[in-house]
Amino acid sequence: MDKFKNKYRIPSARLEGWDYGSNGSYFVTICTNNRECYFGDVVEGKMNLSEMGVIARDVLLDIKNNFPYVDLDTFVIMPNHIHCVICIDKKYDDDLLCNNDVTSPCRDAIKRVSTNTITNTHDDNNPNTGGATKNNPMLQQNLSRIIRWYKGRTTFEIRKIHADFCWQSRFYDHIIREDNVYKTIVNYIETNPSNWEKDKLFKENEL
């Protein structure tokens, strides 16, 4: 495990060399801390949201209002995590051809992912970035900024009713670059509640 400032740090789950601010579709999973089941229960294959689960859903739906270049595709709120497909669709990208009249922005973005967006300057992998600099990930229009905003907003709202609520510090992402992969992921998200007890993130609700 690598060290930074004499402290061990977990290697990044991000794909090295990929510009996470570029147009594309991303399968994202965010888990609660210790996989605590804050968001409700799965009953007979259907997710019943708790009050905290409703907040998690409503803030997710509010992403578009705060990031106009983002389209939220399929998503599900599970007892201790969320799955969603986030599409970054910046109309002004020079290296990508954009069609404003597509019926499915996320699937269209898959077809428009360009090898020109593979770079060696993904700042989120650099422990020295941050602060009041141009490399501050919170000032960049990328996936990490979107997820940080979502986690921060949900934490603020949920702690009004449950002071101990916390997300895991990291999140999982997968860059969707093929249409058949997109279809598989959408099916996985949509059937997640019915397969809850078989899910690797399954945990009995003890709240």
The pLDDT score that the predictor gives to residue 177 is 86
Widest CA span of the chain, in angstroms? 52
SS3 content of the chain, % helix, strand, coil (to 5): 35, 20, 45
Strand pairing report for 3-4 and 7-8 = antiparallel
The pLDDT score that the predictor gives to residue 113 is 42
Tell me the mean pLDDT per 10 residues along the chain, length 207.
40 48 84 96 96 98 94 96 92 45 49 36 33 44 91 98 96 90 95 90 70
A 10 A CB-CB count for 167 gives 21
Phi, psi of 56 (to 5 degrees): -60, -40
The pLDDT score that the predictor gives to residue 17 is 52
What are the residue boundaries of the structural domains of the chain, listed by start? Answer: 13-192
The pLDDT score that the predictor gives to residue 78 is 96
Q: Is the pTM above the cut of 0.85?
A: no
Bridge partner list, 30: 82
The pLDDT score that the predictor gives to residue 207 is 53
Choosing among 1.10.10.60, 3.50.50.60, 3.40.50.300, 3.30.70.1290, the CATH entry for 13-192 is: 3.30.70.1290
The pLDDT score that the predictor gives to residue 139 is 46
